[in-house]
Amino acid sequence: MAANRDTVLFQLLSANFQSTADQPFTQIYSGTAFAISAIVCRQRTGAATVACVGGIYDGSNKSGNVLVAATQSWLTLGAGVMVIAGLAALTANTILTATPILSLTTGSTGACTGDLFIYGWDMT
């Protein structure tokens, strides 16, 4: 990976937006430390309904660093729509090393899956 190049670091394909269980991302870059520039989600199937909210953390069971707040709404996930998650303040100046985990607080009542992508820089 070229230095100072913003790229996809992690992905979570077909994340289940009905589930409140931990859903870890898959690392797709070869480094051991990273900085986040954006987290984007696109709808894969269905559509989120009612209160579909939850965050992204670097520890299990909503622990560790908060990368995206537990109040993040994923409700607008639907055909042709993407959600750009609001990043927590720490992502502006923190080098991270742990695998991110999506952990919803309240799942969608309707079936919905989405693909999430974490963009940033390899800081290894």
Number of domains in the chain: 1
Over residues 37-47, the pLDDT tens digits come to 999 999 999 98
Q: By residue range, what is the domain housing residue 28?
A: 7-122
Query: Does some domain include residue 28?
Result: yes
Task: Tell me which of 77 and 56 has the higher pLDDT.
Answer: 56
pLDDT at 49: 86
79 or 117, higher pLDDT: 117
Beta carbons within 8 Å of 117's beta carbon, 6+ residues apart? 8, 10, 11, 39, 40, 41
Q: Is the pLDDT of residue 17 over 70?
A: yes
Residue 68 counted as domain residue: yes
In-domain check, residue 29: yes
pLDDT at 1 over 80: no
* Residue 2 in domain: no
Asked if residue 1 belongs to a domain, the reply is no
Burial class (CB within 10 angstroms; exposed 0-12, middle 13-18, buried 19+) of 43: buried
